[in-house]
Structure 1
Amino acid sequence: MRSYLVSIALSGLAVAANAQTSTPTRSVSAAQGAVVRWPGNCQRCSFESRVWNPVNGTCYYPIDMEKKAGTYTISRRTTGGKLESARLTVTEKPCQQEDIKNFKKMEYVKVSEKNQARHRREMDELNPILLAKNEERPPVFDLPVTKPTAQLPAGKGFGDCRTFAGQPADRHTGTDYAVSAGTPVRSVGNGRVVLAANHFFSGNSVYIDHGNGLLSEYFHLKSIDVKPNQTVTKGQKIGVVGETGRTTGPHLHFGARWHGEKINPGYLLMDPSDMPQVQ
């Protein structure tokens, strides 16, 4: 009898829990690497197994550039306690091939065992930062973020598949901006420097944690003006544009990861109302 009553009680809890979750009637479609927006009185946001807080009452759902195309469920809990769900359709963004044939820095094509070992050590230090689940740190940024340089030309290269003198490279995780050497580079928002170092492939590099799982990346700098654990403010100079690491010339590589997802940083620079929005 007792087990029967326990079974009934558990069934009742399941029914009550299901009653709180509405069947997805809303939907949104976005490409790999995009950021989806669900505005309005949000208290908590969730996508698959990850849960995080909203930014100024809006849920943002970053989509990794290599997220498998298909339909997913995203959810949010409103300030009134209601749990709502929506269908997210992720569309494929084809990998554009770029063959850099006359590449002159051959040490990045035929990588020596010494430099391979160096790269592995650098990744051992970097991966815990890239994979850190820091969603619970409150956001100290607003959207859109400020530009990483005062004058920012159109960017290119996000998600590209590149070869250097015939040697394949990993997919390009950031956007390249053709900015002159020596141009000051600025932090796009308030935050804390989690890493500032010279790396083999990315050259002089800075990583800044802005809270809410948002990490900004600045590569190939000529020089670095900040140190790890330093607090920075929006628009603060963190270095100058250069061509260190695997580059074909001076430029700024600006990248972003949000809740661990590699996203097109251009979405952080746009007016949030222009992002794909749950309808």
Structure 2
Amino acid sequence: MKFAKLLILVFFVGVSSGYGQNTPAPVKQGGVLRWTDNCVRCAMGNHRWRAVDGTCYFPIDLIEKTGYHRVYRWTKTGRRKTRTILVAKGEFKNEDFKDFEKKEYVNVSAANQRRQRREQAQIWPLFTRPETKPLFTLPLGKPANPLPATEGNFGAYRTFDGSPRNRHTGTDYPIGTGQPVLSMADGKVVLTANHFFGGNSVFVDHGNGLVTMYLHLSGFAVKKGDRVKKGQKIGEVGETGRATGPHLHLGVRWHNARIDPAVLLEDPAKLPALD
């Protein structure tokens, strides 16, 4: 009897911990996991969305809780399958900007704080728009040509003159002023604006809950409501807003998860995957 109870205990410990033959390689915070299995619908938590080219992609937010999570997929026959994934802690650098010249971004006035809150209220609804069919496939197109190596600062913990600021939710590319910035896929421009922190910014909705963001531009080549094609010029690199110099800040929200844009520029076969 004791042996039987021990077997039952081992079984439930194994199930609740998430270990087993179907446990995939960990996917880090800010990354994306794929599940290719003739998929039509996908889900994680209470959120469901369409598959892209028969594959379920699960974007993992920058601060997603580490540990085991359940994911789901449905095939064309209506069959549902459930698996467990392991979210691991991401590796993010620390950045401290000393003697930052634009002091209005270090000691932010009450008026600029109010402005920033108004701008955030304008931006947040863009990430929770009703789901539409995907207008893209992976990998996405490069936002500049040529595209230099990223500065590797997605998710960085930032301080300005020693004062802590919000995490860096995009990644920066060191590109010179005036260089063309390109849309990473077909889509619709849902916002062009000059923002306090982001400077001249363009937001493009590519369907399937994917929104790309291009910040600190010197100027715009599109306006809100425009339909754009992959590779189309949407603006030019600049250093507007809280920028340390000319560069492209590239951001991505996918199903409202803040992810590293660089992972969507690579062959999707390189993403961690479920068998």
Q: TM > 0.5 between the two? A: yes
Choose the corresponding residue for 2:65, options 68, 76, 82. Answer: 68
Tell me, in whole angstroms, the C-alpha distance in 2 between the residues paired with 1:180 and 1:109. Answer: 24
1:265 partnered with 2:261: yes
Who is 1:30 aligned against?
27
| Pairwise CA distance, 1:134 | 3.1
Q: Secondary structure at the match of 2:269?
A: helix
Who is 2:205 aligned against?
209
| Pairwise CA distance, 1:133 | 4.1
Choose the corresponding residue for 1:255, options 251, 267, 270. Answer: 251
Residues 77-226 of structure 1 aligned to structure 2 (within 5 Å): 77-130=74-127, 132-135=128-131, 137-155=132-150, 156-226=152-222
Who is 1:5 aligned against?
none
Query: Identity, % of aligned pairs?
Result: 48
Tell me, in whole angstroms, the C-alpha distance in 2 between the residues paired with 1:95 and 1:210. Answer: 27
Deviations 1:165-223 (A, max 9, x none): 12211100000000111100000000000110000000000000000000000000000
Contact 2:213 2:252 in 1 (8 A): yes
Tell me, in whole angstroms, the C-alpha distance in 1 between the residues paired with 2:144 and 2:91. Answer: 28
Deviates more, 1:188-197 or 1:121-130: 121-130
Code of the aligned partner of 1:179: I
Who is 1:9 aligned against?
none
Choose the corresponding residue for 1:235, options 221, 224, 231. Answer: 231
Who is 1:41 aligned against?
38
Tell me, in whole angstroms, the C-alpha distance in 1 between the residues paired with 2:242 and 2:69. Answer: 36
Tell me, in whole angstroms, the C-alpha distance in 1 between the residues paired with 2:153 and 2:34. Answer: 24
Contact 2:203 2:211 in 1 (8 A): yes
Tell me, in whole angstroms, the C-alpha distance in 2 between the residues paired with 1:45 and 1:176. Answer: 30
Deviations 1:57-84 (A, max 9, x none): 1100000010011100111011122211
Tell me, in whole angstroms, the C-alpha distance in 2 between the residues paired with 1:25 and 1:191. Answer: 39
Deviations 1:118-153 (A, max 9, x none): 1111111111113x1433x00011110110001111
- TM-score normalised by structure 2 residue count: 0.90
Q: Secondary structure at the match of 1:27?
A: coil
Moved over 3 A (4+): none
Deviates more, 1:86-95 or 1:29-38: 86-95
Code of the aligned partner of 2:136: F
Contact 2:211 2:253 in 1 (8 A): yes
Contact 1:209 1:215 in 2 (8 A): yes
Q: Compute the RMSD of aligned alpha carbons.
A: 1.1
Code of the aligned partner of 1:186: L
Q: Give the number of equivalent residue pairs.
A: 254
User: Gaps (5+ residues) in structure 1?
Assistant: 1-23
Contact 1:25 1:86 in 2 (8 A): no
Tell me, in whole angstroms, the C-alpha distance in 2 between the residues paired with 1:51 and 1:109. Answer: 40
Who is 2:10 aligned against?
none
Residues 11-26 of structure 1 aligned to structure 2 (within 5 Å): 26=22
Who is 2:271 aligned against?
275
